[in-house]
Amino acid sequence: MNDFLTALGLLTIVPARYREPISARAYAWFPFVGLLIGASLVVAHFLLRAILPNLVASALLLALWIVFSGALHLDGFADACDGLFAATTRERRLEILRDVHLGTFGAVGLMLLLIVKFAALANVSSFAPILLAPILGRWAMVFAATFPLARSGGMAALFRAGLTRRIVFVATMFAALGCAFFGAFGFAALVGAFLVALSIARLALNRLGGLTGDIYGMICESVEAGVLLIGCVTL
């Protein structure tokens, strides 16, 4: 139970009380926490669309999505944009990732991401992408944890210590079962999530020498946006 509370406390604003030290076993619960987030968003989606115009409902749903996760992954996404796309050395990129200030790449990337997610939410014709996006986004972070780290310190290193194939397998099976429920769209979403996560991970390996917690956040947000877009195309 402590592993579940750890995942819940880290990935949402829910005040879950968990004991230190945290364990890599919490990774197995990441897709389940994604399910809780997705289910909450689906309920909000139907309630908001029942009483508000589509665009307003979509904007409020996106705001709720951000608040529920504490904007944690958005912060990582912005930092990762600054670090990955700066025309500089690997060492300088790692320094940029530690910088608390928002740069041009981060600001532009964040705006584009939010625009894409808002537009996709406004055009989805099914609740399926809204449910699956948080599940696959958090599964993608587990997948990302299998890649080497860019540095030995930080939350990513703390969590990755003790990561086993069994933990990755459990998280992957949970995500795959959720996708299987939605047939062809679920399969496309799973494949899309894998490709997005793999592409960003390889980019980070090339430019940073490994992954960091900010890269995990970028992968989560990018996968969520990708799943929403796949929903717009296939459903």
CA 44 to chain centre: 20
What is the predicted pLDDT for the residue at 175? 97
181: DSSP letter: T
Rounded distance, CA 92 to CA 98, Å? 10
In one-letter notation, the amino acid at residue 132 is L
Give the pTM.
0.94
DSSP assignment string, 38-89: HHHHHHHHHHHHHHS-HHHHHHHHHHHHHHHTTTHHHHHHHHHHHHHHSSS-
Q: What is the pLDDT of residues 146-185, one digit of tens each?
A: 999 988 777 677 767 788 999 999 999 999 999 999 999 9
What is the predicted pLDDT for the residue at 97? 86
pLDDT surpassing 80 at residue 79:
yes
3-state DSSP assignment of residue 211: strand
Q: Report angle CA 72, 75, 78 to the nearest 5 degrees.
A: 150
Rounded distance, CA 62 to CA 115, Å? 10
pLDDT surpassing 90 at residue 98:
no
For residues 229 and 171, the answer to whether their CB atoms sit within 8 Å is: no
Identify the residue with better confidence: 15 or 123: 123
What is the predicted pLDDT for the residue at 29? 94
146: which residues sit within 8 A by CB, 6+ positions away? 163, 168
> Radius of gyration over alpha carbons of the chain, in Å?
17
Rounded distance, CA 228 to CA 188, Å? 11
CA 119 to chain centre: 18
